[in-house]
Structure formats: C-alpha cells, structure tokens
Structure 1
Amino acid sequence: MVKMIGTEPSSELEWDEPLGRVPIFSYGSGHMLNDITSSCWFTYLLVFLTDVGLSPSDAAIVMLSGQLADGFTTIFVGELIDRFGHFKLWHAGGSILVAISFSSVFGSCLPCKLTGTNSSTLETVGYSIFASIFNVGWAVTQVAHMSMVNCMTSNPTSRVALVSCRNAFTMVANLSLYGIALLIFTLMRSVSVLVQYRWIAYTAISIGCCFVVAFLIGTKEPGLNQPSQDKSLSRISWAHWFKKVLYYQVALVYMCTRLVTNVSQAFLAFYVINDLGMHQSSKALVPAIIYVCSLVVSVMLQETRWSGWRLKNYFSAGAMIWILSGIGIVLLPSSMHNFMYALSITIGAANALMTVTSISMEGVLVGEDLNGCAFVYGSLSFIDKVSCGIALYILESYQGSTKISENQELAYGYSVTRLGLGLVPAVFSLLSAIVAHTMDLPEARRRPLVEPLLA
C-alpha cells in the first residue's frame, strides 16, 4: 500500500500531463503512407480501372474486395493488439505490406501477364487480389496507429490534439498526392494512363515511407496498462462494449462520417469531368482545394479546449455545412462549373470538422478502458470499410448498368455521379448530426497543451 501511494500517483500524474508539440507531430506523421495511398485509392482507382478497360461494375468489384478485406482485417488485428500490444511493430509490418502491394494495385494485371490472356474476368480477379493485399496492410497500420492515442496520454485535450494532428497530416498527404497527380497529368500527357498512375503510385509510396520512418524513430512505444487507480488491468471483453449505448451511437456517427468523405471523394473526379465538363486538371485541383481548407481547419481545431458538448456541436456544424454543399452540388449546372471551387472550400471545412470530432468521440468512448481500445477502433473501422465498399459498389454498378440518353440527362440533370457526390453525403450528414445530438458524452478534465501548436 505504501508503494502504491509513493509511486503510482506520480506516475499517473505524469501520464495525465498534456503533451508537447514534438510527440504530437511525431505521432501525426505515422499515418502519412496510409493517407497518401488511400487518397489515390478513393480518388483515382475507379477512374483508372475504367480507363484501362474494366467495366464500371467490374471496377466496383475490385473496390469492394479491397474494402471487405480491410474491414475483416481490422477485427482480427484489433483483437491481437489488445492481447499482445506492440503497436509500433504492427504499424511497421502493415506499412511494409502497403508499400510492396500498392504499386501493383495501379500496375498492370500480373495474372494476365503470367497466363498470356486479357479476359475481363481475369483482370478483375488480378486487380482484386492486390487490392485485398493492400487493404490488409492498410488496416493493420490504421488500427495500430489509432489505438495508440488513448495509450499515449490520459489528458483529453492532448488526445484530441493527437487526432487533430493526425487529420492535419492526412490533409498534407492528400495535398501531396494531388500535387503529384497535377504535375504528372500536366507533364506526361503523351504517355499512357497506366504509366501516369504508376508514377503517381511510386512517388506516393516513397513520400509515405519517409514519414513512417520518422514516426517509428520519434514516437515512444506506449503500453496498454497505463497507471490508473480505479481500473482493472485485465483485458476487456467484446461484450463490455456491446452493452454500451454510446458504442452504437459513436459507431453510427463514425460510419456516416466515413461514408460522407469516401463516397464524395470517389465520385469527385467523375463529377468535375463528366457532369461539369471541367478541364482534366480539375480532377487534381478541386480535391486539392478541399484538402487545403481541411488542413487549415484541422490546425485551428488543435487549439480548441474540448468538452462533450463542443464535440457534438462542432460535428453538427460540419454536418450542416456538408448538407448545404451537397444541395449545391446536385443543383449546380455545368454552365456555372467555376462555382465548384467555392463549394470545394465549404466541403473541406465540413470534412475536417466531422472527421476530427468523430474520431475524438471514439477516444471519449474508450476513456480509460485501454485494454479494449484496439477492438473499438478495429470494429468501428470494420463497419466503416464494409459500409463504404457496399455503398460504392451499388452506386458504381448502377452507374454502369444504367444507360441514360443525352436528352434525358439534360432534362433531369441528375446523373448517378451527381447524386453520389451530392445527395448521398448530405443524407448521411443529416443522419449523423441527429445521432450526435442524442449522445451523452462524459465530461473529462481538460488541460491546455504544454505549447500551442501554432506558436
């Protein structure tokens, strides 16, 4: 008992101390490889696959196979991390798998080369295999990285700062990807689409790996069993989370948020080129504007002192902005396509508000129950990946099977791409805002950061 009084309180106070800028920035850089490849995956995969000859429905199958592999992997990886820990080891292994397999996702069909045939079925199977391998590695890295937040500090403000910094690096990754794409699309117009995307993939992998190395060197391995006076250190079972109403609320909000960001990102390139008739460079420029605005808002959110009601209100504000943006996308005529640049600003702000706060709600859900945190992040990621995969499969399959005449499209003005980019995210934004307001988020002690991140 004397030992507990003499040592544990000081250790617990140290764990509750707010983090400085260095550990926060080091942690935030750890998801760069995942983010830059994910940006390429959602923005250009469907465009790339249809450009190389796959039908929209076959391209949707490739996307779905990757999403399902990602989703199921998160469940098993979450359980293994909860059992054995070693966050950085899992992170490094997943990153290696991502780096090796991603170039093949945007490369040529390997089974087609080996067999000497180019059937659409074999191409679909070939791309699906590498898409699945890539997403397995992606899921391992994501769960390990997200699970670290609650094990690095108990300070609620620092936890949100870690999430916000991670989101800021996500914006940097996306901006880097679109900068690379814009440069390659501009300078390599004479080469084939396959070669263009291969260069984008190789460059993205190189940049992402540099940040992974920086993360592994600069981030201290956290432990699952951090100091706490009133908590059992035994591993928490899955049933513990399924009994909590807040688990289902956070799961639904997070799923809707990911549907909003991923579905809109997947259809953005199609929309600006096919529906608005903008220049080819706009499929890199418009997403870049979105992520510049997201980056600015994410950095601003790092300085906010968070509470439960602020998380809900900021999230709802982002959802409302997305609803208005979605209405604008649905109604925007091609003759006013330049207005899309203004909509990009509002979409970027809405994405940042919804993403930072929804992930932070996961941290509130976990609280100090650290020995089950990986399962929470893994299971919610499973819901995210499967739902996004199914949604994109349905929309893309419908787009490929529906033949709309030119006169019909002019009369109604609502293509599947337009509805997928505008209406679907708006509906999920509304649903998530309603659920967020029903949450009872516990209030936690709040301390400011040791150093303001904008100083």
Structure 2
Amino acid sequence: MRSSTVFDILVPIRVIQSNIGCFRMLGYGVGHFYNDLCASMWFTYLMIFLERVMYFKASAAGFLMLVGQITDAISTPIVGMASDSSKLPVCLKRLGRRVSWHLIGTVCVTLSFPFIFNKGLLNSKINKLWQIGWYVPFIMLFQFGWASVQISHLALIPELSEDSSRRSSLGSLRYNFTVLANLFVFLGLSALLNRDDSGGGITAADSTHFSIASIGVVVIGLITSILFYATTKEPTDGRRLSRLNSASTSPELAKMSWTNWFSHLQFYKVSFLYMFSRLFINVSQVYFPFYITLTASFSKKYIAVLPMISCISSFLVASLVSAPRINRLLGNKILYLFGCLFGISNCAAMYFNQTMVSIICISILIGVAQTVVLVSVLAITADLINRNTESGAFVYGVMSFMDKLANGITYQLIELLNPHLYIGLRLPSESVSANCAVFYRCVMSFVPGACIGLAFLVLITLSRETVGARTCRVRTEPGEIHI
C-alpha cells in the first residue's frame, strides 16, 4: 500500500462548474428530502415499532434491522460502480448517470416503504416467523432504493462544483434539508401520538399512527423529488482530463478508476472516519426513544418532542457551518474536532439521571454534535474525491458499505445483549425491569462515545495531510503538458 500513486491514463470526464447558483443549490438540497423522511422513521422508530407495536422479540427486531443494513451495504458499492459506468437504459440517459439512479431509487422506495410501518394483512394469529418473513422483501427493496438515492445524490456534490467551500456548503444545505425532514416527521408523529397520550409508552394501539405517518412521508417525498428533477441539471460530458484539486494551478489530473482507490492509504482513513461518524449518529438516533421512555421514564409523546428539539438545534447549527466563510476560516478538520468534543460531552451527560431540563439540554447537544460531525465528514469525503468524479460514486458506495454493515452488526449485537429479549410476551410497560433502564443508559453513553472516540483517533492521523492531494503523471499526446 502506498499513499500516492503514479497513473498513465488519458480519459474523458465531466465538465464541472466552478460555481453553482443559489437556485440550483436549493434544488440539489431538496433531492435527498424523501430519503431523509424515510430514514428518520427507519432509524428513530423502526425498532420501537417492531418491539412495542408488533410485539417482536428484541432479537427479531434486531434481525430485521440487520437485513436492511446488509442489503443497503451490498447495494451501495454496486450502485456506485453502476452509476460511474454510465450504463443506463436509453430512456434514462438524458437525465444523466447520477439523476437516473436517483429516479430508480425513488421508485423502489415508493413501492416498499408504506408496507414497513403497516401491519397490512398481518394479525396476532399469524405465526411470528411468517410475520418476520412478510417484512423482509419490503425492507430489502426499500434499502436498495434508499442506497441508490443516497449514493447518486452524494456523488453529485463534486460534480456540481469544484470549489471546496462550495462543496461544503452543498453538504451543509443537504443536511439542512435532512433536519427539516426529521422535523416534519417528529411534528407529524407528535401530533398523532398526543391525541391519545395517557402518560404511558408505545403500544399496539399506536399502529394506525405509524401507518398514517409513513403514508404522509411518501406523499411529501414524491413532491420534493419532482422539484429536484425539475431544478437539477447534471453536468454534461466533456473531453478533457480531471484536474488535481481546486487549489492546483495545473489543469490536468489522471483518471482514478475504482481499483486505483485501494492503493491510497488516505482512502482507508476517510472511510473509517465516515463509518465511525455514522455509527455515532445512527446508534444515538435508534436508541434515543428507548432511552426517553425506559431510562428517563417520560411518556410516549416525548419520543417525538425531544428528537424535534434536536432537529431545531441541528438546523440552527447547520445554517451556521454552511456559510462558506466559516468553512474557509476553520476548515473541515477543525469543525470535525468541535463535533467530537460536543459528542463526547453528550455521551457523558446521558449516563446520569435526567430531569426535564437536563433531557432538553441533552437533546440540544445531540443535535449540535450530529450536525457538525456529519457536515464536516461529508466535506472531507468530497475533498478526498477532489476532481476525480469519474469514480466518485464508488467512493461513497464503499464508505456507505462499511457504514451500513457496521451499523447492522452493532444493532444486532445490542439486541442480543438486551435484558428484555422477551418483549414478545407482551409484558406491560410498568413491568419493564430496572436492568432494561440501565441497559439503554449504557448503550446511549458507551456505544456512541466509543465511536466518536475512535473517529477522533482517525482524525489525528489526517491532521497533517492535505485530503485529496494525489501525486500523478499524465501521458501526453502532441501538444499536451506533463504534470
């Protein structure tokens, strides 16, 4: 393995605009809104829906989450390579390689997501194994579609602009819409749950609320996706070489095929940074509702209210860090360092008993930490790709593969260690043991804390490196210039 490689290839690449207007930036930002709506329900409510509404055992709920994450993990590099290859049906080629896969993913999500938070034909008399089998194909189709949208949308960032601060702004704008999507879900579900809140936890009686919320997600998601297709034009192909980076004075850079990335040590470092960042964010999101109702002993309406507070703080912070001036002043690594500090502080605070004031403060801190970590790691990833957009989707695919696989395995391990494995016995919420409350306290403190700590160690190894800098040599033809 080596940190830099010499290549000798002349290739056609896309013509990238150095600047992108505000209208097109907004159009890009809304392109992941549908995915974000679905992800908000998937990560925040799937486990509690399966355990408290469907009365699945914790191990079964963890298995379904694992199936989804493995499907997503396998799909992401495959979609990434397919997107980079530009092999598309004739009817989709006019849209471009990224937007086409975005459309394919949107169709898959629409056909599957409404069935995940819906009992459908299921009832209590059907064997639990058959009930689990009912969900598997819908979860797999949903995760393939979700991965297709995610990878194609991420891969558009380095294609739409070559300026590092502008790319960071696109990532921040994308996250702003993620926050708005979460806010929409939490507001809607809060209104539904508050209608019959008797001070208890989630039960089978709340099934209708989740079904209505999932249908609303699909309707709003389709509208925003149409807006994305109407406002986002993918850059066209041009016959020239990629350029080294946005700060380089040289106009040339050799091609990076998907196999070339594996010879760069920096590729592995950023991949692990991305994986640990996503683990920190997703584990916190998945188990926060359990922490709220079982550890902190708040009523079911707070599984929407407190995440909504996190969303508001996320939106405010994302608006701040999205400013190009902030990015140029601090840089993505310093921003990520601040995210680590906020994240570790939050994990430490969650270990202690909570009052209403303290849980609100924790919710705010979660939003701040998750925003800064995600925005900065996406910007670091875009810097790694630099102007080698010909294989950008593959890079995002590999990183997402590691992220999803690690998440799925982590959820399953947590559920296998869950002291309340036999939720399928339909025990009332009052009989939940003190061990279960302690369990979720430890999960929310130690698992995300370990992830952000490991991410910090990876960041240290990148501190003296220029992310995305690669030494290369281009074979010249008559009239061309060597780098």
**TM-score in terms of structure 2 length:** 0.82
Shift of 1:237: 2.7
Distance 2:64 2:432 in 1: 30
Which of these residues, 52, 55, 58, is aligned with residue 53 of structure 1? 55
Query: Given the alignment of the two structures, is residue 344 of structure 1 paired with residue 380 of structure 2, yes or no?
Result: no
Shift of 1:223: 3.9
Matched residue, 2:36: 35
Shift of 1:238: 2.6
Which of these residues, 100, 112, 130, is aligned with residue 111 of structure 2? 100
**CA RMSD between the two structures:** 2.6
Distance 2:309 2:197 in 1: 23
1:241-289 Cα distance to aligned partner (Å, 9 max, x none): 1111111111111101110111111001111111111121110011001
Shift of 1:184: 1.0
Query: Given the alignment of the two structures, is residue 326 of structure 1 paired with residue 347 of structure 2, yes or no?
Result: yes
Which of these residues, 446, 450, 459, is aligned with residue 436 of structure 1? 459
Matched residue, 1:217: 230
Report the residue type matching 1:219 in the other structure. Answer: T
Report the residue type matching 2:448 in the other structure. Answer: P
Q: Tell me if the contact between 1:308 and 1:443 (Cα under 8 Å) persists in the aligned partners.
A: no
Report the residue type matching 1:140 in the other structure. Answer: S
Matched residue, 2:261: 241
Query: Given the alignment of the two structures, is residue 81 of structure 1 paired with residue 83 of structure 2, yes or no?
Result: yes
Paired residue secondary structure (2:350): helix
Matched residue, 1:311: 332
Matched residue, 1:358: 377
Q: Tell me if the contact between 1:25 and 1:165 (Cα under 8 Å) persists in the aligned partners.
A: yes
Distance 1:291 1:323 in 2: 19
Shift of 1:388: 0.6
Q: Tell me if the contact between 2:419 and 2:436 (Cα under 8 Å) persists in the aligned partners.
A: no
Distance 2:432 2:281 in 1: 29
Q: Tell me if the contact between 2:419 and 2:439 (Cα under 8 Å) persists in the aligned partners.
A: no
Matched residue, 2:297: 277
Q: Tell me if the contact between 1:56 and 1:400 (Cα under 8 Å) persists in the aligned partners.
A: no
Report matched runs for 1:113-152 at 5 Å: 118-152=126-160
Q: Tell me if the contact between 1:81 and 1:144 (Cα under 8 Å) persists in the aligned partners.
A: yes
Matched residue, 1:384: 403
Matched residue, 1:427: 450
Report the residue type matching 2:350 in the other structure. Answer: I
Matched residue, 1:448: none
1:322-359 Cα distance to aligned partner (Å, 9 max, x none): 1111011012x15x244110111111111110000001
Shift of 1:231: 2.6
Distance 1:355 1:319 in 2: 11
1:292-348 Cα distance to aligned partner (Å, 9 max, x none): 1111111111113335972111101111111111011012x15x2441101111111
Which of these residues, 63, 72, 81, is aligned with residue 70 of structure 1? 72
State, as a whole percentage, how many aligned pairs show the same letter. Answer: 26
1:174-216 Cα distance to aligned partner (Å, 9 max, x none): 0000001001112366993221110010011111111111000
Matched residue, 1:393: 412
Report the residue type matching 2:216 in the other structure. Answer: T
Query: Given the alignment of the two structures, is residue 184 of structure 1 paired with residue 192 of structure 2, yes or no?
Result: yes
Q: Tell me if the contact between 1:165 and 1:302 (Cα under 8 Å) persists in the aligned partners.
A: yes
Distance verdict in 2 for CA 1:441–1:221, change over 3 Å: same
Paired residue secondary structure (1:107): coil
Distance 1:151 1:295 in 2: 25
Distance 2:130 2:433 in 1: 34
Distance 1:212 1:130 in 2: 21
Distance verdict in 2 for CA 1:243–1:443, change over 3 Å: closer
Q: Tell me if the contact between 2:197 and 2:300 (Cα under 8 Å) persists in the aligned partners.
A: no
Distance 2:158 2:224 in 1: 22
Distance 1:278 1:223 in 2: 53
Distance 1:323 1:226 in 2: 48
Report the residue type matching 1:52 in the other structure. Answer: M
Which of these residues, 153, 157, 160, is aligned with residue 165 of structure 2? 157
Q: Tell me if the contact between 1:257 and 1:355 (Cα under 8 Å) persists in the aligned partners.
A: yes
Shifted more, 307-316 versus 236-245: the winner is: 307-316
Shift of 1:415: 2.3
Distance 1:260 1:107 in 2: 28
Distance 1:376 1:194 in 2: 39
Report the residue type matching 1:157 in the other structure. Answer: S
Distance 1:72 1:351 in 2: 25
Report the residue type matching 1:43 in the other structure. Answer: T
Shift of 1:69: 0.5
Number of residues paired by the alignment? Answer: 424
Q: Is there any run of 5+ residues in structure 2 with no aligned partner, and where?
A: 1-13, 87-95, 199-203, 243-250, 423-429, 470-483
Distance 1:79 1:261 in 2: 26
Query: Given the alignment of the two structures, is residue 231 of structure 1 paired with residue 253 of structure 2, yes or no?
Result: yes
Query: Given the alignment of the two structures, is residue 301 of structure 1 paired with residue 321 of structure 2, yes or no?
Result: yes
1:365-412 Cα distance to aligned partner (Å, 9 max, x none): 101111110100011011111111111111122115669xx99975x8
Shift of 1:418: 1.4
Report the residue type matching 1:243 in the other structure. Answer: S
Consecutive aligned runs of 4 or more in structure 1 exceeding 6 Å deviation = 406-409
Q: Tell me if the contact between 1:330 and 1:414 (Cα under 8 Å) persists in the aligned partners.
A: no
Distance 1:129 1:444 in 2: 39
Which of these residues, 246, 250, 253, is aligned with residue 270 of structure 2? 250
Q: Is there any run of 5+ residues in structure 1 with no aligned partner, and where?
A: 1-10, 446-455
Distance 2:100 2:436 in 1: 51
